[in-house]
Amino acid sequence: MRNVRLATVRVLGALATILWAYGLSAPAKATTVQILGPTQPGIQPVNGTFAATGQSASWTPLAGQGFNIHLTGTFVGTVQLERQLNGVWAPVTVSAGGSIIQMELWSAPASDVWGEPQYGVSYRLNCTAYTSGTITYQVSQ
């Protein structure tokens, strides 16, 4: 917050200098400007467990910033990352050499970072196969 205040003071000082150079004066009433930047918080963490097949709660990350996916536990099962576009949930895939490859598919404890450049895209974890154990997950940004 100190850096934002310092930057605001510098901008206002520069503005006053420019106005003075043109024979103008600054307005009598101060205006507050809020600057949103990289210190803006991300999504609320999504925590939970899988003890059967099913989906986690969904989340919508801040566009252009990575989010963390952390899976722990002793389990036999498979979890995949899914994204929602136009109301349809689908596994995260990439196209390489004419083949579609599913990304972000785990069958063991893992920690990963994924990013979304598009605004408003939702994600969820889907436990697609489950045999035993407990799969604990946390998603944060």
The SS3 assignment for 49 reads: strand
User: pLDDT tens-digit profile of 122-133?
Assistant: 999 999 999 999
Task: Give the Cα separation of 107 and 64 in Å (integer).
Answer: 27
Asked if pLDDT for residue 26 goes beyond 80, the answer is no
Do 18 and 26 form a contact (C-beta atoms < 8 A)? no
Residues forming beta bridges with residue 112, ordered by sequence position = 69
CATH class of 46-140: mainly beta
Asked if pLDDT for residue 102 goes beyond 80, the answer is yes
Cα first-last separation, the chain? 20
| Domain range annotation of the chain | 1-40, 46-140
pLDDT score, position 96: 81
Task: Give the Cα separation of 138 and 141 in Å (integer).
Answer: 10
pLDDT score, position 25: 55
What global pTM score does this model have?
Answer: 0.68
Task: Give the Cα separation of 48 and 135 in Å (integer).
Answer: 8
Asked if pLDDT for residue 82 goes beyond 60, the answer is yes
pLDDT score, position 103: 85
Question: What's the whole-number mean pLDDT along residues 98-102?
Answer: 82
pLDDT score, position 110: 96
Asked if pLDDT for residue 88 goes beyond 60, the answer is yes
| Sheet-wide strand order for 66-72 | 46-50, 135-140, 66-72, 110-115
Task: Give the Cα separation of 93 and 113 in Å (integer).
Answer: 15
Do 128 and 75 form a contact (C-beta atoms < 8 A)? no
Question: What's the whole-number mean pLDDT along residues 62-83?
Answer: 94
